[in-house]
Structure formats: structure tokens, C-alpha cells
Amino acid sequence: MTAFPVRRLRRLRRSPALRRLVAETDLSPRRLVLPVFVKEDIAEAQPIASMPRVHQYPLAQLAAVVDVAAEAGIGGIMLFGVPAVRDAVGSGATDPDGILNRAIAVAAAAAKGRLTVQADLCLDEFTDHGHCGVLAADGSVDNDATLEVYARMALAQAEAGADILGLSGMMDGQVAACRAALDAAGRSDVVILAYSAKYASAFYGPFRDAVESTLTGDRRTYQLDAANGREGVQEALADIDEGADIVMVKPAGPYLDVLAEVAAVSSVPVWAYQVSGEYAMIEHAAAAGVIDRERAIGESILGIRRAGAEAILTYWAIEVAGWLREGRALA
């Protein structure tokens, strides 16, 4: 006689009610963070061609965006500035009147404690060469000279009212440099989110459109090599040693192994950034009728959460928060 299985894993999959009851992974709106692009000198929101449904906003519309985000119940917004003028040292980043610092102030006033205001702390949006730091005479990115600029940028962002600074430049020692500058200025209250395991990735492509970056060359001398998982974990541990309050892995989908390893060893919260290219792939594939848009979005985000992200930066934050509030399953 055939030996029938005693152990039947299909038993718990039999009905939607059973599946809902035994689902291991959940998500709630508080765990989602929306990246927001604020552009200097525009009057109306402008669509970003490579990122369907995502816009650059004028400063005048930012308070309304904050209201929508707060009503959606998400955990925060991550601000990016698109300046009208760029220069070699990224002066707009440290200027209190620079577009990002003004955006932080507007968002902090509009947020009224309903959600956190986070800011990208990096020079690439502000430099005319598009690199994340200042350049040495030989054209390479000068790590230690950049740290001084990051420290001033941290103070400007803290002064403008940011709750969380997202250090995304991948310079060695950036967390320690910003923490020391903040503490010395009496701002030990400001949270540092370290983009610790940030890989040199083709998936940032649409973001370059979103911030109109003019990068020539690549970022491989400072962002991580896609081949290296162990190095990503080491970056996270180094950032924790330097005082990072939260560490992040980025992109998310192609680096779920790194995310899971960091989550297993981290003593601080671990987040992930589902980047512009991950977003664009699903949007464009869905528009072409190749995949089911909502299921693909839900599955991609649930996968990131399952791998260990406690919060997720995603351009779908508002829409997904709406689904969660309706009690919909994500995948």
C-alpha cells in the first residue's frame, strides 16, 4: 500500500481564514516611509517620467503631502532636495536657505508630531559632478574632506528640524563625524539612520532622473560591490559602533540575503530601501500587462519585511498603507 503522508503542510493553506491566522509576517503603515522629492523654483508638481505616479513637488505643496502621509498613518517621510543650482562642493546642502533645509523646516512644521521627518544626508543632489562627496585634485572622492561637509550638513538639517538624518554617502567614518558634530552642538537628540550596506546599483537609475543628477562615471569607489555580502554586514556593524541608531540595507530586493544577515546580528533597528529601480520595474511591467501590479507590489514589500526589515522606505508607502488599513492581505 502507498505510504500516505502524515505530515501535511497543505492543511494550514486550505482556506483564506486559516492562511490569515497562520501568516508569519505582517506589515502595518507605521513601518512604511515615503521618499519625497522637493524641487526648487517650480510652481506645480512635476511627474518623473521613469517613475510613473511619482512627482517632484514645489515647496508650496509639501505641507499637503505631509498631511496625506500623516493621514495614511505611515511612519515618516524621507526628503530629497532638487536644487536649482549646483557647484563643486555642494554648497546648497549646508546653506540654511538650500532647498532641502527649507523643505525640512516646512515638513517639520506641517508634521506636528504625527510622523517623523527624515532627510537624505548626501552631497550628490548638490554637486555639479554628481558625486556623493567633494573631489580631491586628482578627481577622486576625498573621504575626509567630505566628512567635514557632512558634519555641517548634519547641523543644518538638525537646525531645520529633521528628526532623523539619513546618511547615504558611504564615506568611511560618516556616522562618527555627524554624531560628534551633533553632540558638540547640543543635538544629541537627533537620530542617525545609516545607509550602511548601500550597494553600487543599477537600480538607482530612475532616482537620477528624479533628482536630475548629472553624474558621470560611477560610485564604485565608495558604494559596495554587489558580489560582497560579508562586507555589507561589516559596514552595518561598523556604523553601529560609530553610534548609528538605525542601520539600513539598500537596494532591498536584490540584497535580501544581506538584509537577513544584518537583521540577525544588529543590536539596533534594521530598515531597507526599496529603491527607484525596484519601483520602476514593477510599474512598467504592470503597465505592459506582464504582471499583476498590486500583487507584485505587495509581494515585493512582504518579502523585504520577511527578510528582516522593521521599516521600509518605498515609493508605494501611501498606497500600501491604504491597503493595510482596509485589512487587505499583501500577497
List binding-site positions for 5-aminolevulinate. 208, 219, 276, 315
141 beta partners: 135
What's the min distance (Å) between Cβ of 10 and ligand PBG? 39
Q: 122-151 mask for ligand PBG (x: CB under 6 A)?
A: x-xx--------------------------
CB-facing half-sphere around the CA of 232: CA atoms within 13 A: 29
250 is a catalytic site residue = yes
| Binding track over 56-95 against ligand PBG, x by CB under 6 A | ----------------------------------------
The residue whose grid cell reads 521613469 is 50
Give me the least distance between CB of 205 and ligand PBG, in Å please: 7
- x/- map, 227-266, ligand PBG, by CB under 6 A: ----------------------------------------
Rounded to whole angstroms, the Cα distance separating 46 from 57 reads: 7
Q: Which of residues 106-125 bind ligand PBG (CB under 6 A)?
A: 120, 122, 124-125
Given the residues 250, 252, 266, 324, select the one marked as catalytic: 250
Alpha helices (runs of H) in 96-225, residue ranges in sequence order: 99-111, 143-160, 174-184, 205-210
| Residue of 39, 102, 179, 198 with catalytic role | 198
The dihedrals phi and psi of 193, each to the nearest 5 degrees, come to -100, 115
Instruction: Work out the burial of residue 226: count CB atoms within 10 Å of its CB; fewer than 13 is exposed, 13-18 middle, 19 or more buried.
Output: middle
**Placement of cell 537583521 in the chain:** 263
Which three cell numbers, joined as nine digits, stand for 313? Answer: 522606505
Q: Tell me the backbone φ, ψ of residue 39, rounded to 5 degrees.
A: -110, 135
Cis peptide before 251 (omega within 30 of 0): yes
Of 118, 174, 276, 314, the one binding ligand PBG (CB under 6 A) is: 276
Give min distance, CB of 117 to ligand PBG, in A: 16
- Pick from 115, 275, 301, 304 the residue near ligand PBG by CB under 6 A: 275
Query: How many residues of this chain bind ligand PBG (CB under 6 A)?
Result: 10
Nearer to ligand PBG, 67 or 245 (CB): 245
How far apart, in Å, are the Cα atoms of 235 and each of 75, 82, 169, 287? 25, 28, 13, 37
Three-class secondary structure of residue 37 per DSSP = strand
The binding track of 167-186 with respect to ligand PBG, each residue x by CB under 6 A or -, is -x------------------
Please provide the distance, in angstroms rounded to a whole number, between the alpha carbons at the two ends of the chain.
Answer: 39
d(CA 21, CA 166): 36
Positions annotated as catalytic residues are 198, 250
Positions in the binding site for ligand PBG (CB under 6 A): 120, 122, 124-125, 168, 204, 207, 219, 275-276
